[in-house]
A and B are shown apart, each in its own frame.
Chain A
Amino acid sequence: MLVDIGFWVLAVLAVASAVLVFVVDSMARATYALAVSFVAVGFALVLLQQNYVGVVTVLMMLMEMAVMAVYMVMYMGMNPALMPMSMVHGKRAALAVSGAAFVVLGAGALLVDWPVRRGVPAPDVTAALGEALMGRQMLVMVVISPVMVATIVGGVVLAAHRTRYDRFGDDLRRRPARDPQRGGVGR
Chain B
Amino acid sequence: MTLETVLLVAAALFAVGLYGAISQQVVVMVMMGLEVMVNAVILAAGAMWWFLAPDPTGQVLLLVVLAAMTVEMAMGFAVATLVHRHRNSDMTDSATDLAR
Interface positions of A (Cβ within 8 A of B):
3-4, 7-8, 11, 14-15, 18-19, 21-22, 27, 30-31, 34, 37-38, 41, 44-45, 47-50, 52-54, 56-57, 60, 64, 67-68, 71-72, 75-76, 87-91, 93-95, 97-99, 101-102, 105-106, 108-110, 114-115, 117-122, 125, 128-129, 131-133, 136-137, 140, 144, 147-148, 151-152, 154-156, 158-159, 161
Kindly state the separation between the CA atoms of A142 and B32 in the bound complex, as whole angstroms: 28
Kindly state the separation between the CA atoms of A148 and B73 in the bound complex, as whole angstroms: 12
User: B66-78 interface mask toward A, CB cutoff 8 Å, 1 = contact, 0 = none?
Assistant: 1100110111011
Kindly state the separation between the CA atoms of A50 and B50 in the bound complex, as whole angstroms: 8
Contacts of A101 in B (CB 8 A): 11, 14-15, 18
Q: Most chain-A Cβ atoms within 10 A of its Cβ — which of B28, B62, B67?
A: B28
B95 at the interface (CB under 8 A from A): no
Interchain CB contact under 8 A, A18 and B36: yes
Q: Which residue of B lies closest to A14 (CB)?
A: B13
Give B71 Cβ to nearest chain A Cβ, in Å: 5
Select B24's contact among A22, A71, A72, beta carbons within 8 Å. Answer: A22
Interchain CB contact under 8 A, B63 and A53: yes
Contacts of B11 in A (CB 8 A): 101-102, 105-106, 108-109
Interchain CB contact under 8 A, B60 and A140: yes
Mind listing 8 A-B residue pairs with CB under 8 Å?
A7-B1, A21-B20, A30-B32, A34-B35, A37-B13, A101-B18, A102-B15, A128-B56
B99 at the interface (CB under 8 A from A): no
Interchain CB contact under 8 A, B28 and A27: yes
Known pairs A44-B46, A45-B46. 17 more at Cβ < 8 A? A18-B16, A30-B32, A47-B1, A48-B50, A60-B70, A67-B77, A75-B27, A88-B24, A101-B11, A105-B14, A117-B51, A120-B54, A133-B63, A140-B63, A154-B78, A155-B78, A161-B85
